[in-house]
Amino acid sequence: MDIQNALAAPAITRREDYRPPEWLVPEVALDFDLDAARTVVRSRLSVERNGAHGEPLRLDGAGQELLAVLVDGVAVNDWRLDGGGLVIPLGGDEHVVELEVVIEPERNTQLMGLYASNGILCTQCEAEGFRRITYFSDRPDVLSMYHVRMTADAARYPVLLANGDPVASSDLGDGRHRAEWNDPFPKPSYLFALVAGDLQVNKGAFTTRSGRDVELGIWVRAADLPKTDHALYSLQEAMAWDERVYGREYDLDVFNIVAVDDFNFGAMENKGLNIFNSRYVLADADTATDYDYDAIAAVVAHEYFHNWSGNRVTCRDWFQLSLKEGFTVYRDQGFSADQGSAAVNRIEAVRTLRASQFPEDAGPLAHPVRPDSYQEISNFYTATIYNKGAELIRMMATILGPAKFRAGSDLYFERSDGTAATCEDFVACMEEAGGVDLAQFRRWYTQAGTPRVQASLSHDDGRARLRLAQATPPTPGQPVKEPMLLPLKVKLFGAETGRALADERLVLLGDPAETIVFDGVTERPVLSINRGFSAPVVIESDRSAADLAFLSAHDDDPFARYEAMQQLMLDALVADAVEGDRSNADAVVAAVADTLDDPALDPAFRAEAVLLPSESFIGDQMSVVDPDAIFRAREALRRTLGERLAERWAAAYDGPREPYSYTPEAKGRRRLRNVALGYLAAARGGAADKLAFTQFEAADNMTDRMGALTVLANGTSDLREAALDIFYSRYRDNALVLDKWFQVQALSSRDDTGVAVAALARHPDFTLGNPNRARSLIGAFGVNQRAFNARGGEGYRFLANQLLELDRLNPQTAAKLLPSLGRWRRFDGARAALMRAELARIVGAAGLSRDLFEQASKSLEG
């Protein structure tokens, strides 16, 4: 570490240091003189001493110029700037503090605070962005009523939006105009938002069940207006769903969503004025895939649901982030499940958890769902907080059952409304409403790491014994783990008859080891465990390939069928990658054939069930990840499946063509067809490229076009370049679609992907300035296991170089892309050394952000 970084080594914020705020700010009036180059912000804070103490008022601030400070209407100069913050001595218990600051939105490349995105001025304040707009008590437990006035050039910024309801607007006659908004709900500063721009609106309406008429608006640039119907429809569906399922109504007269092209995350739940990454708003059949449509519905719902789980009840401090995020992800998963196939949704949620959260839990950046400390809070918007957090809520729902879970949720909203709450508050409500003891369950909030459960079943004399043992591996800072409370749904099936031998049981495993007894078991039982993925754990069982194949065909829980197939495939792939043993391929082929042949299964489920586990998930099962061996094994099994089931794939592919429609059924058929195309390509090699190219050219929707382009991009025929060129010329002006063009090449399984990605980074359309574009190339490459982990370390070097450059523009986005380099412990010594060298280079770089420093230094320590 060089001296500069050592000196700048960031302070650590600890949960145990939480103290209530010294000053409250019940009301704030903000006056913006908006201009991209130079915006003047005048604020008027009514402040109240909180408790008996003599401390001055301390306000957070960053990246602004302070012009004036007034206390009770009088200019003062006894204030000081301290570590970026503003300290003002105040004698009494209640004062009015007025500030005037200048900020430069145009030069804000971090995209935190007020910034410009393609001519639109917008804000992002979570977690600590508001302090980049003006000095403020920028913490989630200070709730204020906001009144906002904006003045701006009327031609450039004809639309002026803020939180709450519009209360006044006027034309100033000099080419400028003004608008005022008032938000009657006290909120923390992270939920503040304003937007100014030349926007058009797709308007909708929703009447709440108690009769409030809400005006809905999706605001975008004029050219994008035709792509907003799906977002608007999704919003209306989400509003109705939250009333129906959680009894939650909307509470303002307007609800606006604005799409911007430059955004660090997916979207933001600002009160009454959600700001979205345009990729989660804009869709039409020609430019968005089914996956995009689904993601839009999920994110629109997620942000809307935050109005209760996040805004009405917010977080006391950022350690409680999962209070709003875990619960809201759980809520949006419920919504998505009700919109389409619940089984496929669960499969996708588990796939996401395994792809992003399990590796996090097993690596150097592992942290509990309620962390103990952080350097930079932006680094904690993780799969652990979001996705594992959602699994915690799901486990409580499983333990309580639906009615009591709903009662717990009602109690929580009622009791905590208008407050800044803690994860503990939530658990306490569940405990109270459910009449259960969740003492041991609380460990899920404090212990990092994915529990592993060993399960083995024995049978004699009409009795089955299920022996379960649990252990959680050590994680950084937590060498010793206590046993967790694991809700495991278990069922036994008869190996001869295929019948269920008893009803499903919910086993609450709390001890390190337990034996569960099943009586009346008259034939050899086959174990179905962790059904529906009832606990986010790894199951290690001694089930044979034959038993897994049996479950994949006979289990009555669709998730368990999928899971059995995955395990069967994994076992076969690991055996091949590690020992070159391909003896289990036959069992996989037979099981896949059974699944394809089962008329009771819908196409969407069949498509998911027959997909091989990802290369990285296979790697997660090995003690040392061998990316090349994994790739070879996976390709071999893909080819075997392609060849041996050629007729079935052809049949699945050749079904009747239908014009595009976005319905669950049509979506499922498209999915199965594109999966079939992938297998046909695996079997026929270049011969299938023609088929893919024909599909590429004939497609009337982006799902089929991308399905074909993916196959072509992995292949070697001339048609590959042709298709990529056609795609590029057709969509070069559409940023979101061009992202797909970069991404499909960065994810390619070809041998030359590393070289191609380095060249694409110099493409005139590539820029690190736009987070979506950066993620589409750099982020995608980082998760392309084989290409990224090329033996010579050139992938690591490339990523490190890109991250160092990106860090100067946008530290948050750079830090998000670092974890690929932190997986060094999982690889052989040579690769590990190369990765560590790059991490050390990053840690030692001058002028590094706090964001990237934290991720890189923790990854290096491991």
Structure tokens, 560: 């368990």
Minimum distance, C-beta of residue 163 to Zn ion, in the bound complex (Å): 17
Minimum distance, C-beta of residue 142 to ligand 0A1, in the bound complex (Å): 18
- Residue (113 or 822) nearer to ligand 0A1, CB: 113
Residue 37's nearest CA partner among 102, 111, 99, 118 is: 102
With contact defined as beta carbons under 8 Å apart, do 70 and 98 qualify? yes
- Residue (115 or 405) nearer to ligand 0A1, CB: 115
Chain-centre distance for alpha carbon 30 = 32
* CA distance linking residue 673 with residue 662, whole number of Å: 15
In DSSP terms, 200 is beta-bridged to 220
* CA distance linking residue 633 with residue 696, whole number of Å: 28
The item of Zn ion, ligand 0A1, none sharing an interface with residue 264, based on CB under 5 to 8 Å by kind, is ligand 0A1
With contact defined as beta carbons under 8 Å apart, do 497 and 554 qualify? no
* Cβ-proximal residues to 840 (8 Å cutoff; 6+ apart), any chain: 860
Q: Identify the residue among 108, 189, 264, 375 touching ligand 0A1 (CB under 6 A).
A: 264
- Residue (125 or 596) nearer to ligand 0A1, CB: 125
Q: Identify the residue among 136, 192, 255, 265 touching ligand 0A1 (CB under 6 A).
A: 265
Residues in the chain: 862
The item of Zn ion, ligand 0A1, none sharing an interface with residue 124, based on CB under 5 to 8 Å by kind, is ligand 0A1
Minimum distance, C-beta of residue 299 to Zn ion, in the bound complex (Å): 9
Chain-centre distance for alpha carbon 527 = 32
- Residue (384 or 812) nearer to ligand 0A1, CB: 812
Minimum distance, C-beta of residue 328 to Zn ion, in the bound complex (Å): 5
With contact defined as beta carbons under 8 Å apart, do 313 and 413 qualify? yes
The item of Zn ion, ligand 0A1, none sharing an interface with residue 266, based on CB under 5 to 8 Å by kind, is ligand 0A1
* CA distance linking residue 546 with residue 568, whole number of Å: 9
Query: Which amino acid type is present at position 816?
Result: K
How many residues touch ligand 0A1 under the rule CB under 6 A: the total is 13
In DSSP terms, 482 is beta-bridged to none
Sketch the per residue contact string, 357 through 386, with ligand 0A1: x for CB under 6 A, - otherwise. Answer: ------------------------x-----
Q: Identify the residue among 124, 234, 450, 855 touching ligand 0A1 (CB under 6 A).
A: 124
With contact defined as beta carbons under 8 Å apart, do 373 and 13 qualify? yes
- Residue (325 or 626) nearer to Zn ion, CB: 325
Q: Identify the residue among 224, 292, 325, 838 touching ligand 0A1 (CB under 6 A).
A: 325
Minimum distance, C-beta of residue 269 to Zn ion, in the bound complex (Å): 6
- Residue (303 or 626) nearer to ligand 0A1, CB: 303
**Shortest Cβ contact with ligand 0A1: which residue?**
265
* CA distance linking residue 817 with residue 805, whole number of Å: 12
* CA distance linking residue 36 with residue 508, whole number of Å: 57
With contact defined as beta carbons under 8 Å apart, do 59 and 8 qualify? no
Chain-centre distance for alpha carbon 182 = 31
Residue 227 to residues 80, 202, 218, 279, 730, Cα–Cα distance (Å): 50, 10, 10, 11, 17
With contact defined as beta carbons under 8 Å apart, do 506 and 489 qualify? yes
Return the range that interacts with ligand 0A1 (CB under 6 A); candidates 227-235, 267-275, 415-423, 838-846: 267-275
- Residue (376 or 608) nearer to ligand 0A1, CB: 376
- Residue (329 or 708) nearer to Zn ion, CB: 329
With contact defined as beta carbons under 8 Å apart, do 729 and 760 qualify? no
The item of Zn ion, ligand 0A1, none sharing an interface with residue 265, based on CB under 5 to 8 Å by kind, is ligand 0A1
Q: Tell me: cis bond preceding 127? Omega within 30 of 0 counts.
A: yes
Return the range that interacts with ligand 0A1 (CB under 6 A); candidates 18-26, 265-273, 618-626, 771-779: 265-273
The item of Zn ion, ligand 0A1, none sharing an interface with residue 278, based on CB under 5 to 8 Å by kind, is none
Tokens 């309801």 found at: 165
Minimum distance, C-beta of residue 390 to Zn ion, in the bound complex (Å): 10
Give, as ranges, the residues between 172 and 231 that touch ligand 0A1 (CB under 6 A): none
Structure tokens, 75: 């200019």
Sketch the per residue contact string, 72 through 111, with ligand 0A1: x for CB under 6 A, - otherwise. Answer: ----------------------------------------
Count Cβ atoms within 10 A of the Cβ of residue 734 and give its class: 0-12 exposed, 13-18 middle, 19 or more buried: middle
Count Cβ atoms within 10 A of the Cβ of residue 479 and give its class: 0-12 exposed, 13-18 middle, 19 or more buried: exposed
- Residue (110 or 314) nearer to Zn ion, CB: 314
Q: Classify 827 as helix, strand or coil.
A: strand
- Residue (273 or 466) nearer to Zn ion, CB: 273
Minimum distance, C-beta of residue 257 to ligand 0A1, in the bound complex (Å): 12
Sketch the per residue contact string, 760 through 799, with ligand 0A1: x for CB under 6 A, - otherwise. Answer: ----------------------------------------
Give, as ranges, the residues between 297 and 316 that touch ligand 0A1 (CB under 6 A): 302-303
* CA distance linking residue 34 with residue 38, whole number of Å: 7
- The answer to whether 267 contacts ligand 0A1 (rule: CB under 6 A) is yes
* CA distance linking residue 299 with residue 231, whole number of Å: 9
With contact defined as beta carbons under 8 Å apart, do 395 and 444 qualify? yes
- The answer to whether 555 contacts ligand 0A1 (rule: CB under 6 A) is no
Minimum distance, C-beta of residue 385 to ligand 0A1, in the bound complex (Å): 9
Residues that bind Zn ion (CB under 5 A): 325, 328
Minimum distance, C-beta of residue 302 to Zn ion, in the bound complex (Å): 5
Sketch the per residue contact string, 220 through 259, with ligand 0A1: x for CB under 6 A, - otherwise. Answer: ----------------------------------------
* CA distance linking residue 725 with residue 731, whole number of Å: 10
- The answer to whether 268 contacts ligand 0A1 (rule: CB under 6 A) is yes
- Residue (265 or 308) nearer to ligand 0A1, CB: 265
- The answer to whether 266 contacts ligand 0A1 (rule: CB under 6 A) is yes
- Residue (327 or 605) nearer to Zn ion, CB: 327
Minimum distance, C-beta of residue 266 to ligand 0A1, in the bound complex (Å): 6
- The answer to whether 493 contacts ligand 0A1 (rule: CB under 6 A) is no
- Residue (86 or 385) nearer to Zn ion, CB: 385
Return the range that interacts with ligand 0A1 (CB under 6 A); candidates 17-25, 91-99, 135-143, 261-269: 261-269
Count Cβ atoms within 10 A of the Cβ of residue 793 and give its class: 0-12 exposed, 13-18 middle, 19 or more buried: middle
- The answer to whether 126 contacts ligand 0A1 (rule: CB under 6 A) is yes
Q: Kindly report the three-state secondary structure assignment for every residue of 304-358.
A: HHCCCECCCEEECCHHHHHHHHHHHHHHHHHHHHHHCCHHHHHHHHHHHHHHHHH
Catalytic residues: 303
Residue 399 to residues 392, 409, 506, 631, Cα–Cα distance (Å): 11, 14, 8, 40
With contact defined as beta carbons under 8 Å apart, do 625 and 656 qualify? no
Minimum distance, C-beta of residue 268 to ligand 0A1, in the bound complex (Å): 4
Per DSSP (E only), the strands in 512-556 are 513-519, 525-529, 538-541
The item of Zn ion, ligand 0A1, none sharing an interface with residue 31, based on CB under 5 to 8 Å by kind, is none
Return phi, psi of residue 774, to 5°.
-60, -45
Q: Identify the residue among 35, 269, 290, 360 touching ligand 0A1 (CB under 6 A).
A: 269
Q: Classify 73 as helix, strand or coil.
A: coil
Return the range that interacts with ligand 0A1 (CB under 6 A); candidates 227-235, 262-270, 424-432, 836-844: 262-270
* CA distance linking residue 745 with residue 677, whole number of Å: 18
- The answer to whether 26 contacts ligand 0A1 (rule: CB under 6 A) is no
Interface residues with ligand 0A1 (CB under 6 A)? 124, 126, 264-269, 302-303, 325, 381, 812
